[in-house]
Structure 1
Amino acid sequence: MASFYKRGTNWTASVSIKVDGSFKKKTKSGFKTKREATNWAIEMENKKINDTLSKRDGIIAEMFDEWYAIFKEPLLETQTKGWYRLVSKILRKEWPDRKLSEINSSDFQKMVNEYGKNHVRSSVAHVKNILSSFIKYAVDEDFINKDFSRNIKVFSSKSSKDKDLKFLENDELEMLIKEIENSAAVTSHMILLAIYSGARYSEVAALTRNDFNFTNNTININKSWQANDQSFKATKTKTSNRIIDLPPVFMKLVRQWTFGKKYAFESITGLPPTNAAVNKQLRRYLKKNDSKLITFHGLRHTHASFLLSQDIAIQYVSERLGHADVNITLSTYAHLLDKKRTLETNKTLTALSNL
């Protein structure tokens, strides 16, 4: 994989090149911008990939790294890159000398099962999906004839946290709002906005004063905050770009808040408060009220759960959350919908029994 670092005012790029059966670093310095360094690295990787992938076979870990360096790395954010590096490590551990043509569905399923022994289902699915994308690419390029990832099932023997721990009940939510609505702390303001909007931390942190419309009582989600790079980035998906309507009484309260110069919510560093800082504030309030302990992202689940409990249409909830597909909303909150379905069933049977 390519790596980049800055020396003084110039950037340096480094790529791994295979020479006589062993890998050697090829480094070039003096680039004025990171983009120039990235373009050089891509050119080097292209030369390397033409020497190896054109043979339509090779060590799967090496081919994966080359695919990542050319098609993924330049486009991904810092946090997402970590998942691809993880997959690379897994491939080198499980199949250090295996060629792409030597892998079949059974091998892939065994690898997924092994990884699933010590990781939660969501992590296993993430790893499986990344590797599946590479396999589909390999099929499209005629490196292999069959997509051996097609029928792979996600397996995990490690349980995820109980879903009930991820959102507040209505009485807990009311206590939190009452406790926090008069606080002047920036982190408190972020928590309150998340409760009423269902926005992600990265979306709340990226808000500027211009994203608040006090005439229409809305906020405009059009970017997100990349904490690792300390910069704005695109939202998670295209559908994440959205206008969220908020209660007039809440927006009247927001109008009284003091916004930062660049970001709506600024800490003493001039940057948005970190996710850790906001979570610390939230945890302090929840402990004080003896409420269920959730994370800032749990406020998003709380928002959706509250709306569903009030019989708000699932399609609207999905749009409000910025989900790419209503099926994402259905799968995420299936446990709540099942609970509500049971209540509706009991109400139906009671009504029919009274005929």
Structure 2
Amino acid sequence: MASIYKRGKTWTASVSTKVDGQLRKKTKSGFSTKTEANKWATSIEQLKNTGKLPFGDRLFKDEYWSWYTVFKEPHIETNTKSWYISTYRLISAQWPNMKLSEVTVREMQLLINGYAESHVKSSVTHIKNMIGAFCRYAVDEGMLAKDISRNIVVSSKKKSAGRDTKFLEHDQFLKLIEAAKTQNDIASKMILTACYSGCRYSEIAALSWTDFDFKKNTISINKSWSPKDSTIKGTKTKTSVRTIDMPEEYMNIAKTWTLPDKIMFAGINGKPLTDGSCNAKLNKLLSTFSTSKLTMHGLRHTHASYLLANDIDIQYVSERLGHAGIEITMKVYAHLMNEKRDKEKDKTITLLEKL
């Protein structure tokens, strides 16, 4: 709020706003009447509410980078960092001299639209979310009057890979497991582990023998491999730390493996086999009975799809995958949820018709 007060024979007006967590004042003195002081204060309040006060005229890209390095970079994993950095590069290229006070909803939408021309929707959403997080911070700190990312529409002209490339049908899944069992290379062992556990590549790559409990037939997921840093780190999220129940058949096979203690699936260089090497072996195995192409992450989707299609409770599947909640699981596997809903609808109508 504005402060109006008299000093001697003239009036003074002062308007406060928060910048970087600190209050800053814009003050003007010498008004002959209180009305004039109020009029000036009102005009400044309007500038404040639109984020156009002079001390808010800093470059958008500079403030974004400052926010990232202080509040995000020290606390996030390498893969997530790459999205924040990609966002910074986009902002720097498109808005090299754009001030915070100059960025409007229209400018933001144009930025997102331009990026969407050559990127899939999931990537566009990542960029929008990165900018949105900064905008909410800027609003809280008084650098922006409102969250200019809130009503941005995300779309894309570039289509993502089709569903058939993301997971296997059930008969293909079973054939893959049988094929992997006949192999003795490290990649096949990682593929088999992915099929039975639904774990991410990074989680499998970080496994050690101490994570296996052969009495309870479980695997403990408590760390992950970061290829970019070549180090063992924490899991993707807190909910990713979990204990996974494994079938006795898989555990009996694992007992026969002769592998290193600390990093089970290490190659000759002492590091886990790469995601690319696993994908190459996976598609070589698939080529013997199918034309489908898949990645290790596709095995995670296949594992979950297989369980859900066989009426395993979604809450348990969500916990097994390490999702933060069933909302994420339902979103990722919406197509399966819709299929199950249609089946339940038909069963319900058949039941009711017997009344």
- TM normalised by structure 2 equals 0.81
For residues 253-264 of structure 1, the aligned pairs below 5 Å read 253-264=253-264
In structure 2, the partner of 1:69 is: 69
CA distance in 2, matches of 1:60, 1:213: 52
| Secondary structure of 2:183 counterpart | coil
CA distance in 1, matches of 2:95, 2:258: 55
| Structure 2 residue identity aligned to 1:241 | V
CA distance in 1, matches of 2:331, 2:166: 15
In structure 2, the partner of 1:194 is: 194
CA distance in 2, matches of 1:257, 1:299: 21
| Secondary structure of 1:319 counterpart | helix
CA distance in 2, matches of 1:218, 1:321: 14
In structure 1, the partner of 2:305 is: 305
* Contact 2:223 2:234 survives alignment (8 Å): yes
CA distance in 1, matches of 2:77, 2:177: 34
* Contact 1:198 1:300 survives alignment (8 Å): yes
Q: Percent identity?
A: 47
Gaps of 5+ in 1: 1-53
1:123 deviates by 0.1
In structure 1, the partner of 2:290 is: 290
For residues 208-287 of structure 1, the aligned pairs below 5 Å read 208-287=208-287
CA distance in 2, matches of 1:105, 1:316: 41
For residues 36-185 of structure 1, the aligned pairs below 5 Å read 55-185=55-185
Count how many residue pairs are aligned between Structure 1 and Structure 2: 302
Greater Cα shift, 105-114 or 306-315 = 105-114
- TM normalised by structure 1 equals 0.81
* Contact 2:307 2:317 survives alignment (8 Å): yes
1:167 deviates by 0.7
CA distance in 2, matches of 1:247, 1:316: 15
* Contact 1:172 1:291 survives alignment (8 Å): no
| Secondary structure of 1:298 counterpart | helix
| Structure 1 residue identity aligned to 2:279 | N
CA distance in 2, matches of 1:167, 1:349: 31
* Contact 2:263 2:272 survives alignment (8 Å): yes
| Structure 2 residue identity aligned to 1:128 | K
CA distance in 1, matches of 2:95, 2:270: 47
CA distance in 2, matches of 1:69, 1:308: 41
* Contact 2:195 2:300 survives alignment (8 Å): yes
* Contact 1:166 1:294 survives alignment (8 Å): yes
| Structure 2 residue identity aligned to 1:235 | T
* Contact 1:222 1:240 survives alignment (8 Å): yes
In structure 1, the partner of 2:328 is: 328
CA distance in 2, matches of 1:320, 1:291: 29
1:270 deviates by 1.2
| Secondary structure of 2:287 counterpart | helix
Once the two structures are superposed, residues 273-311 of structure 1 have per-residue CA deviations (whole angstroms, 9 ceiling, x without a partner) of 000010011010001112521111000000000000110
Once the two structures are superposed, residues 157-216 of structure 1 have per-residue CA deviations (whole angstroms, 9 ceiling, x without a partner) of 211111232111110011111111132111111000111110000000011110000010
* Contact 1:194 1:299 survives alignment (8 Å): yes
| Structure 2 residue identity aligned to 1:92 | S
CA distance in 2, matches of 1:352, 1:65: 60
| Structure 1 residue identity aligned to 2:251 | M
CA distance in 1, matches of 2:114, 2:304: 34
CA distance in 1, matches of 2:152, 2:116: 13
CA distance in 2, matches of 1:235, 1:101: 39
Once the two structures are superposed, residues 110-169 of structure 1 have per-residue CA deviations (whole angstroms, 9 ceiling, x without a partner) of 211221122111000100111111111111111122111122221212111112321111
CA distance in 1, matches of 2:261, 2:307: 33
CA RMSD of aligned residues (A): 1.7
In structure 2, the partner of 1:33 is: none
Compare CA radii of gyration and give the structure with the larger one.
Answer: 2
